[in-house]
């Protein structure tokens, strides 16, 4: 493979090179926009670039499910390659993630040219004064190696490309909370080490046809840290839109139709933290998902992605005291954030109007079935105002506890909290602690597996205060500190992507003891005789529920569930909430 790569090194010498070096061409350029780099070509290309330019360094990072390491390319004008030094110098970090869906490789090839050009073209090179760039060349290595020409049936190039699933057939863009793949853990290690201020995750869109080559969505503004969100919407996005327009690539928000076609209105994407951008946003990172349009030729899509990354760099490289102030403030959550939202719903009454450049949606008889079929008429382009629904309102919020406490038995949750840099300590001795405990009152479960899980949704809880025995080594988690949003959206069971909903705690959902009814009949009768309140509640329950009234076994079970014999730990969510400041015996 190395031989092939060496053939890719062009003999062209660029007159604008800072250092007179042969300009290494990418497989995309050599094929005149027809091919995307293979995994080996991509990594070898970056290694060759790094040999030529000492402002580029290639890091071998953590493992992936296919057994190959994840690579990270760091571009630092100062050749420090050290996050702490970038903080000290007030530099910002842009992270670019490519090939999470290897069938959508536009960012892979755009980044290869971008990284080369940024160190060789003077007009770009100066943009590195205030910015360090980190690039994951291909995140889903497993999928990239599974190359084919058919799995993106609707896509207009390249000639061959990788497959969406990774080695364990996971969609890595749903894996950022559950972290089933090694890829996700390695990504999070990189993310937490570099703590990027901005992130781009590059994709190619499916869906309706329209005139735009590039659409994108930023992290959902109403879910994002409110301090940074206003800057993102008022200052950052208008600049990004203008810069892309100036470069001849007008953009539109990601086209997520309200009904069948974009004329019905488009809906701002709500990315929960299972997605790359949703995960990044939990850590106050402005995250952008580029979605080039599948029907536009591959070379045009790569060009649009390249221009998007350049535009982002142009904005981020400007000194902006307002951004710096807000970032600083956002990261030190003030105590007012005691009540945090964890669920949102679309406000269907509120919308903006955007001028949309589409193609007319029409119907004609299908040659397959004879029934009417939708098509977009590219000979009938239009620009007309459409509704853009991008306002989400809080549907559920919770009081932030002083601490969470997790028994050490739940090691997957604890490992992931650690991986994400969450502040935690172990109890240094066995201790009984007063906690607010949730009971899982109701939930639904997917009937078929979704991304390796039978995940839960519509989870409802009740809570009460209990004294619970904890043991030396159990984990106490600090909340009002770095990663607070991550802690809340994973540990609050009703949050859509909570660890509970991803099955981390399913052990609690199964009752362990039961009774023999012929024996418990007499015990239950005695209980009802002795406890008038219990008897009255049973009578009331029977009045409210006719099925209970005519079912003797159900009544016996009702008494059991309302007695001291019923196990307290059934459906008791194991993560306790400590609601007041207490002194706890803490060790390491």
Residues lying near Zn ion in the complex (CB under 5 A): 101, 104, 203
> Toward Zn ion, which CB reaches closer, 101 or 243?
101
**Minimum gap (Å) between residue 8 Cβ and Zn ion:** 27
Residue labelled with tokens 């300009």: 23
Task: Please count the other Cβ atoms lying within 10 Å of the Cβ belonging to residue 567.
Answer: 12
> Toward Zn ion, which CB reaches closer, 104 or 263?
104
> Residue 226, SS3?
helix
> Toward Zn ion, which CB reaches closer, 97 or 490?
97
Residue 507 is given by DSSP the state G
Rounded to 5°, the CA angle 495-276-200 comes to 140
**Minimum gap (Å) between residue 288 Cβ and Zn ion:** 14
> Toward Zn ion, which CB reaches closer, 64 or 205?
205
> Toward Zn ion, which CB reaches closer, 275 or 500?
275
Q: Rounded to whole angstroms, how far apart are CA atoms 56 and 79?
A: 8
What residues form DSSP beta bridges with 214?
Answer: 251, 292
> Toward Zn ion, which CB reaches closer, 203 or 485?
203
> Toward Zn ion, which CB reaches closer, 92 or 101?
101
Task: Please count the other Cβ atoms lying within 10 Å of the Cβ belonging to residue 193.
Answer: 13
> Toward Zn ion, which CB reaches closer, 53 or 101?
101
**Minimum gap (Å) between residue 336 Cβ and Zn ion:** 37
Residue labelled with tokens 């840290």: 225
Residue closest to 357 by CA, chosen among 250, 247, 484, 222: 250
> Toward Zn ion, which CB reaches closer, 284 or 291?
291
Q: Rounded to whole angstroms, how far apart are CA atoms 101 and 89?
A: 35
**Minimum gap (Å) between residue 269 Cβ and Zn ion:** 12
User: Which backbone phi and psi does 386 adopt, to 5 degrees?
Assistant: -130, 165
**Minimum gap (Å) between residue 354 Cβ and Zn ion:** 23
**Minimum gap (Å) between residue 215 Cβ and Zn ion:** 12
> Toward Zn ion, which CB reaches closer, 152 or 243?
152
**Minimum gap (Å) between residue 202 Cβ and Zn ion:** 8
Q: Rounded to whole angstroms, how far apart are CA atoms 202 and 555?
A: 57
- Half-sphere exposure of residue 284, counting CA atoms within 13 Å on the CB side? 22
> Toward Zn ion, which CB reaches closer, 200 or 527?
200
**Minimum gap (Å) between residue 205 Cβ and Zn ion:** 8
**Minimum gap (Å) between residue 465 Cβ and Zn ion:** 45
**Minimum gap (Å) between residue 390 Cβ and Zn ion:** 20
> Residue 349, SS3?
coil
> Residue 119, SS3?
helix
> Residue 135, SS3?
strand
Residue closest to 490 by CA, chosen among 187, 200, 178, 277: 178
Residue labelled with tokens 């992605």: 305
In order of 214, 217, 301, 325, 584, the CA distances from 292 in angstroms are 4, 11, 6, 33, 52
Q: Which two tokens stand for residue 432?
A: 């009984």
**Minimum gap (Å) between residue 203 Cβ and Zn ion:** 3
Residue labelled with tokens 């001795």: 429
- Half-sphere exposure of residue 239, counting CA atoms within 13 Å on the CB side? 16
- Cβ-Cβ contacts under 8 Å for 550 (sequence gap 6 or more): none
Residue closest to 471 by CA, chosen among 430, 503, 440: 430
């Amino acid at each position: 493979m190395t031989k092939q790569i060496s053939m890719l090194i062009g003999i062209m010498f660029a007159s604008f090179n800072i250092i007179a070096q042969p300009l290494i061409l990418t497989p995309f350029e050599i094929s005149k926009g027809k091919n995307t780099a293979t995994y080996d070509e991509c990594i070898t290309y970056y290694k060759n670039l790094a040999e030529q330019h000492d402002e580029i360094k290639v890091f071998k990072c953590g493992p992936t499910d296919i057994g190959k390491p994840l690579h990270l390319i760091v571009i630092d004008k100062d050749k420090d390659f050290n996050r702490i030094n970038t903080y000290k110098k007030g530099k910002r970090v842009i992270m670019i993630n490519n090939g999470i869906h290897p069938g959508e490789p536009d960012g892979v090839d755009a980044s290869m040219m971008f990284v080369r050009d940024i160190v060789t073209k003077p007009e770009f090179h100066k943009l590195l004064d205030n910015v360090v760039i980190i690039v994951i060349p291909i995140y889903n290595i497993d999928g990239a190696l599974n190359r084919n020409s058919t799995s993106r049936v609707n896509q207009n190039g390249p000639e061959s490309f990788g497959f969406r699933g990774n080695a364990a057939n996971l969609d890595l863009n749903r894996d950022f909370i559950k972290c089933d793949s090694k890829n996700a853990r390695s990504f999070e290690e990189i993310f937490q080490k570099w703590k990027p201020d901005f992130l781009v995750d590059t994709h190619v869109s499916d869906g309706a046809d329209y005139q735009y080559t590039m659409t994108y969505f930023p992290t959902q503004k109403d879910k994002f840290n409110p301090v940074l969100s206003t800057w993102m919407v008022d200052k950052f996005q208008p600049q990004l839109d203008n810069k892309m327009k100036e470069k001849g690539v007008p953009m539109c928000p990601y086209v997520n139709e309200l009904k069948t076609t974009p004329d019905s209105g488009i809906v701002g994407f709500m990315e929960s933290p299972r997605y790359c951008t949703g995960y990044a946003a939990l850590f106050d990172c402005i995250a952008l998902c580029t979605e080039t349009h599948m029907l536009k030729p591959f070379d045009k899509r790569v060009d649009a992605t390249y221009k998007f990354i350049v535009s982002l760099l142009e904005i981020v490289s400007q000194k902006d005291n307002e951004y710096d102030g807000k970032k600083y403030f956002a990261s030190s959550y003030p105590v007012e954030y005691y009540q945090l939202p964890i669920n949102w719903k679309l406000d269907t009454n509120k919308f903006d109007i955007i001028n949309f450049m589409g193609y007319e949606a029409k119907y004609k008889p299908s040659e397959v079935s004879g029934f009417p079929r939708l098509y977009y008429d590219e000979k009938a382009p239009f620009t007309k105002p459409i509704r853009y629904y991008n306002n989400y309102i809080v549907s559920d919020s919770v009081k932030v506890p002083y601490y969470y406490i997790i028994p050490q038995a739940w090691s997957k949750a604890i490992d992931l909290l650690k991986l994400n840099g969450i502040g935690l300590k172990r109890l240094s001795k066995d201790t009984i602690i007063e906690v607010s405990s949730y009971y899982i009152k109701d939930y639904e479960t997917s009937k078929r597996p979704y991304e390796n899980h039978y995940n839960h949704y519509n989870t409802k809880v009740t809570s009460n205060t209990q004294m619970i025995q904890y043991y030396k080594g159990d984990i106490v988690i600090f909340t009002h500190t770095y990663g607070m949003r991550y802690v809340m959206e994973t540990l609050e069971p009703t949050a859509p992507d909570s660890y509970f909903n991803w099955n981390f705690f399913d052990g609690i959902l199964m009752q362990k003891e039961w009774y023999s009814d012929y024996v418990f009949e007499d015990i239950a009768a005695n209980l009802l005789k002795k406890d008038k309140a219990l008897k009255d509640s049973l009578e009331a329950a029977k009045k409210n529920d006719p099925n209970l009234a005519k079912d003797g076994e159900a009544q016996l079970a009702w008494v059991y569930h309302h007695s001291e014999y019923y196990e307290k730990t059934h459906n008791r969510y194991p993560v306790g909430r400590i609601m007041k400041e207490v002194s706890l015996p803490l060790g390491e």
